[in-house]
Structure 1
Amino acid sequence: MRNVERRGFLTLAAGVGAALAAEGARAAASSPDAFMLHPSGAMPNNERLPVLWYRQAFVPGDDLADRFDVLFARNGWPSQWHAGIYDFHHYHSTAHEVLGCARGGTRVMLGGENGRPVRFSAGDVLVLPTGTGHRNMTPDADILVVGAYPAGQHWDICRNAPDAAARARMATLPFPVSDPVGGTGGAVPALWHRV
């Protein structure tokens, strides 16, 4: 009986792994929108690295947060939280960030007061280089976002213009070796280059 249960579990696990691989391939095949944000007020943004926006890269479903956790971790961006997005302008000086919308949606203002508003919906992924301002403008009551960062990087919360130490941290922050969605063949290695 125990061998049958184990065999059944392994078959189920293989099926889930294949489904995740197929979804990861689908997401990787979708090209993200890539755009630059210039400094705006206290938000330094990142004038060297583009924001990447994968629209509807994943099919929404009850287990989308778990699917983000697995895919992001497999690509070297382990998740650190499941929650919403802060409703005030902020950026991170100690980490690059990926946000996966697992449920609901919102308008996110990227780049500060005069930045770029985007409709962030279930199945979307935003990859924000260090310094990128972001704020939740109109959260749905049921929004759920997965936040992940390159291995070894941990986020801070910055609301004021960066001082010299924060600018130095952002300028020397290591680049991730893979894209959280597309892995080593994805958009981050292709589009993020140190100038």
Structure 2
Amino acid sequence: MPENQVRVHTHYLPPTTLIPNSPYPLLHYPALLPNPHPSHIHTLFTTNAWKTHWIYRYGATQKSHYHSSAHECMAVLTGTATIRFGAGDTNPTCTDDDLAASTHGPDHEAGGVEIQARAGDVFVVPAGVSHKTFDAKPQAEFALLTPGTGHGIEVAEGEGVEVGKVLEGVKLEGFTMIGSYPVGGEWDFCDGGEGEEKRRRAWGLPKPGSDPVLGMAGEGLCGLW
């Protein structure tokens, strides 16, 4: 558990027409990790039975989406951005230009919350809660920075390479986050309007046994979910 004082902001996000959201609150720990380092954060995740799946570098915007099959933790490594939680995009077939226009325009649902994300911030996102990252700075192209498909970190077989060592070699530039999910959880991608089955699935997922960063501490999800 980090030694600095823990601050946590809780956001209860009700269902919308497109997004199930969750009875559990979104948790935002601002500046929880003052010197975020991928391999150190991976060690925290592993200790607390969460599995590191990816490091992404974010571009100007992305589609709003949620995961119905897994709770998620995102820790900011570098840069700044705005993340909108809890509201879906209302133009599901939009182009990249449409996405850029919808960031501050009318092409998203009312409601939700927008949070300014900075290096060191941690978000624990319940299954069903949508999120959309935009206005990422420094500006860069969206990219998966870790080997694999984003569903776990691939390491070369037979070379004895550990995930932490792979993460140390990742070049971080732009706005980057590292993501993890409870061990055994696999994330899906839902952009809204999938219906009752996805809502039931998201709402029916059990509470994780520990917080990805704070472990069993009451300041984390163990005391807040």
TM value normalised by structure 1: 0.79
Q: Could you tell me which of 25, 38, 47 is aligned with 2:2?
A: 25
**1:56 alignment counterpart:** 31
Q: Check if 1:188 corresponds to 2:209.
A: no
| 1:75 maps to amino acid | N
Q: Check if 1:121 corresponds to 2:98.
A: no
Distance 2:191 2:33 in 1: 31
Q: Check if 1:155 corresponds to 2:155.
A: no
Identity over aligned pairs, percent: 31
| 2:201 maps to amino acid | R
Q: Could you tell me which of 46, 49, 53 is aligned with 1:76?
A: 49
Counterpart contact for 1:60–1:103, Cα < 8 Å: no
Counterpart contact for 2:83–2:117, Cα < 8 Å: yes
- Comparing both chains, which one has the higher relative contact order based on Cα–Cα distances under 8 Å and sequence gaps of 6 or more? 2
More helix as a share of residues: 1
Q: Could you tell me which of 202, 208, 220 is aligned with 1:170?
A: 202
Q: Could you tell me which of 130, 135, 139 is aligned with 2:132?
A: 135
| 2:209 maps to amino acid | V
Uncovered stretches (5+) of structure 2, i.e. residues with no partner: 88-108, 140-173
Moved over 3 A (4+): none
Counterpart contact for 2:10–2:26, Cα < 8 Å: yes
Counterpart contact for 1:65–1:145, Cα < 8 Å: no
Distance 2:194 2:215 in 1: 31
Report Cα offsets for 1:48-88 as digits up to 9, x if no partner. Answer: 10111000011135xx1222111111111111000035711
Report Cα offsets for 1:80-127 as digits up to 9, x if no partner. Answer: 000035711100000000000011120000111331110111000000
**Deviation, structure 1 residue 182:** 0.9
Q: Secondary structure at the match of 1:70?
A: helix
Uncovered stretches (5+) of structure 1, i.e. residues with no partner: 1-23
**2:148 alignment counterpart:** none
Q: Check if 1:111 corresponds to 2:108.
A: no
Q: Which has more radius of gyration?
A: 1
Write the mapping of 1:83-102 to structure 2, written as runs, cut at 5 A. Answer: 83-84=56-57, 87-102=62-77
CA RMSD of aligned residues (A): 1.6
Distance change >3 Å, CA 44–CA 164, structure 1 → 2: closer
Number of residue pairs aligned between Structure 1 and Structure 2: 165
Distance 1:106 1:120 in 2: 5
TM value normalised by structure 2: 0.69
Please identify, of 80-89 and 50-59, the stretch whose mean Cα deviation from structure 2 is larger.
80-89
Counterpart contact for 1:51–1:128, Cα < 8 Å: yes
Q: Secondary structure at the match of 1:37?
A: coil
**2:93 alignment counterpart:** none
Counterpart contact for 2:2–2:33, Cα < 8 Å: no
